[in-house]
Structure 1
């Protein structure tokens, strides 16, 4: 995990969001173990309690299962649960602002599709 953090939100929240992204991107799959608290803390140069707090949030959200003495594992169904939650969050929090910008700039669907990721790579 990239050890760079920003000041916009607490580090434990950023770490939680990175694990969520890894699940959504398929880097962590159902049943996979999370990296140990100690190794993440060492690699990211953060306090182990910060990592534990991020992991506990994932447990509280039902995305991760804590197996006493052996670690934490991605729950079955976690990717789909996350997709549904992240879609809802995007549509209610981010999309209204994006949609307003699109309307303000007079962009069409064709404009947006032409400027998609493949256009940025060219």
Structure 2
């Protein structure tokens, strides 16, 4: 069962989940995404919500609609996502994380990168 929170609209949460999968190479560039119906069934949500999530990915240039064939991952989608996610992390998340580490008195040598 997939859980949703009240922090963002469900379509945006689904778009974020699908984008994370694309970042992991699932499905690979040039391949089709599952159909709206399949995603609605998988996530137990309204097909219109799925369509809105997919349109969000289209708007971001990550997937494209091929008339009568479905949605396909665009070439370069993974690198585009990677750049965007890195930028977001460095600009938004890292400063907060760095401040928390400082408050907790944690130093770089206290962090074990290998067990991640």
**1:117 Cα offset (Å):** 6.2
Aligned to 1:103: 102
Aligned to 2:6: 7
Counterparts of 1:44 and 1:101, CA distance in 2: 34
**1:92 Cα offset (Å):** 1.0
Matched length: 116
**1:50 Cα offset (Å):** 0.3
Aligned to 2:50: 51
Counterparts of 2:68 and 2:14, CA distance in 1: 22
Normalising by structure 2, what TM-score?
0.93
TM-superposition CA deviations, 1:33-68 (whole Å, max 9, x none):
111001111221111110000000100110001101
Aligned to 1:69: 68
Aligned to 2:21: 22
**1:19 Cα offset (Å):** 0.7
- RMSD of aligned C-alpha atoms? 1.4
Normalising by structure 1, what TM-score?
0.89
**1:27 Cα offset (Å):** 2.2
Counterparts of 2:2 and 2:39, CA distance in 1: 9
Q: Gaps (5+ residues) in structure 1? A: none
